[in-house]
Amino acid sequence: MTGLTALPTSTLADRALLLLASGPQGAEVLTRDVFGMARAPGAVAERLAVALLGPDPRVRRLPDGRWGIVTQAAGSPLIEDVAFAIVDVETTGSRLGGADRITEVAVVIVQGNRCEVVFESLVNPERPIPPMVTAVTRITDAMVRVAPTFDEVADRLVDALAGRVFVAHNLRFDWQFLTTELKRSRALGLEGQRLCTVRLGRQLVPGLPSYGLDSLSIYFDLENPARHRAGGDALATGRLLQRLLGLAREAGARTIADLERMQLKRRKKRRGRRRKSAPESSI
């Protein structure tokens, strides 16, 4: 599966497929993220993965022991054949689970030389915006009071994402906020491949002191006159993605799977230092 799809979510199998949509995963990762067992012994993780995924025709075991969605295991589309949906959200804060909500969302499509905003909207979070957040984003309570709620923009947003690879700068933040809102408003979960420009940047432009959006924009000489607004940041991330894809091709990447392996390789190298390092930043 390459493009994003919105599907009902509820079962453990659904959660496993959503995780595998980002690329093949080992039993320990599946056990941690699907079953919530962070320290399961390897043998236990293997048995749980086999019991959950073994009978599922949508999934198969790869030669290296990981599990992957059948279409991903069979092959991967060329980078030039794929449309990327670059997403940025602004929020009332960083707490998930309903404590904080989206105040603005934008989607930019990148395909070849195309880099275009296809969706952008303020969103009424149905709660006050903290003053320190307003100071950064310049989004005020008065602005969102007359804006549509997330429920009112959800269908158009899903349409903008459908069939495209999800991309964000600090992927986890935007992905989790968006999927939380979709689950709340539509009982839908996004399924499909996704890429993080922070992780790609670390792999393709080693040695920078920071991989925040400002730092990478300076490195590539990219302008962003609407910083900390969803449209401006999504457009800047789209242009950044185009530069990173060029470097990835020079490094030998030809398919989406190649890009995913770049991210996975870099993540493995950093795993031993993860507990001591700060979270990935999009700032």
Q: Is 80 exposed, middle or buried (0-12, 13-18, 19+ CB in 10 A)?
A: exposed
Catalytic residues: 228
What three-state secondary structure class fits 21? coil
pLDDT at 266: 43
Mean pLDDT by 10 residues, the chain (283 residues): 59 80 85 87 89 78 80 68 95 87 97 94 97 97 97 93 92 94 85 90 94 96 94 97 96 90 63 42 46
Task: Choose among 132, 77, 133: nearest CA to 102.
Answer: 133
Q: What is the distance, to the nearest Å, from the Cα of residue 209 to the centroid of all Cα atoms in its chain? A: 23
The whole-angstrom separation of Cα 125 and Cα 141 is 9
* Token output for 63: 């030669």
pLDDT at 5: 62
pLDDT at 73: 47
